[in-house]
Structure 1
């Protein structure tokens, strides 16, 4: 791990899923000499089954805002003795980009990141996969739970049915519609002109909810200012990229990138 200035990695979980989706990643990074943590969102400290049992009446989670969620992770990062490496997936990728914008990371990776404010997601597949989470014309005091059918389209497309079901059972949890709506507000703001720590954005060729060309527009929104900024599209990756059989190939690419840039 020559050249690494910090060996602490904070994994940031996205929406709709439990934080244990990082378990294999944590073990793998630890085997490479890193200390790791994957703290849950507020009100999401439990198994997928436990959290689903609260649906739809988990009012604490239902009222959670994106600003509060970002502050939660920034407080975790600030409490560490040195700036960590931050790696986030999906909405966790957006939070990672915000953390980088606040100069709180030594290096960062945003995996299939939800686009920040100003990167307009006009893709049909994004709208089809994500619009229900906004909860339009529904009670904001109730959480949203993605159906298995929607999960198949948004997360695990092109996987065998039994693997899709297993992934759903082990990972899918209720979500705050308020957090989802926050992605359309200034809470999702990133300063694209500001110099920043080394940042890698990754995308998947078959991701429906965060299509690769949406990810690339996110990447292109950053202004050239001498900061290390890289983009990588992986073939055959859907939005369940953290749990696909190819996850270790992605982790190896990220580890190599960190070795060169962190």
Structure 2
């Protein structure tokens, strides 16, 4: 068990990207007195370039399921002597919501979260940005790697081309199609009526893959009269690469202020 003298934060990475995307966040949170970790997904034990070199024949990653991934992070969080704060982005936001629902976290922050089961993502931009990851009519024993063109639409829209390319090279990695499909199953279930630890959901006004409207429906699905702290914040001008956008520190400051009040 990990001893905790100051508040601990577990950062949970989303799909398609390396956990190194949290590096600046970790440094910043640690400068504010937090202990942080950003553990990789199972079978994502390398740099973005190393993981791309395994595409598409990384069968271990290809066979990873969402249920296994959630349990991976839940076990990490449960290993702390005192409940940590959990902060996740995208699919990591969904995992954060599930971990909060399991009463394992002191507080949770879900950044541009993939919605839990029951919040149907009917937005066209979500379908356009994400449907290829499901791997319909493709081999599930092979991983999926987002193309640069799809990355431009799904993650880094409205950014300069050179920044889009740099972000792709530094972050984009192959993904399990089975994990993506798991978002449509009971593995993505959250009991919206259950009382829970403080939870903040954030969104971005120009996010294509997880539009703000979808994030707001996620928030609205929760029961509001059970005594739980639940907040929602939409940030102007944030795309899905929010964790790495130049404005990331503004978002981090908002989250830190919310944690100071609620965690």
Q: The TM-score by the shorter chain falls in which range?
A: over 0.9
Matched, 1:209 2:209: yes
- What is the alpha-carbon distance in structure 1 between the residues aligned to residue 80 and residue 62 of structure 2? 29
Call closer, same or farther: CA 1:6–1:201 in 2, change over 3 Å.
farther
Q: Given the two structures, how large is their TM-score scaled by the length of structure 1?
A: 0.98
Q: Deviations over 1:148-175 (max 9, x none)?
A: 0000000000000000000000000000
- Extract structure 1 runs of 4+ deviating beyond 2 A: none
Structure 2 length as normaliser, TM-score?
0.97
Equivalent residues of 1:6, 1:85 under 8 A apart = no
Structure 2: distance between partners of 1:20 and 1:167: 12
Deviations 1:43-98 (A, max 9, x none): 00110000000000000000000000000000001111110000000000000000
Tell me the residue number matched to 1:188: 188
Contact 2:6–2:35 under 8 Å retained in 1:
no
Kept after mapping to 2: 8 A contact 1:207/1:237: yes
Residue of structure 1 equivalent to 2:259:
258
CA root-mean-square deviation: 0.7
SS in 2 for 1:142: coil
Is 1:26 matched with 2:21?
Answer: no
Q: Which runs of 5+ in 1 are unaligned?
A: none
| Partner residue in 2 for 1:91 | 91
Match of 2:9 in 1: 9
User: 2: distance between equivalents of 1:203 and 1:29?
Assistant: 20
State the partner residue of 1:221: 221
Structure 2 residues not aligned, in runs of 5+: none
Q: How far 1:6 moved relative to its partner?
A: 5.7
- Alpha-carbon deviation of 1:226? 1.1
Question: 2-side partners of 1:25 and 1:35: how far apart?
Answer: 11
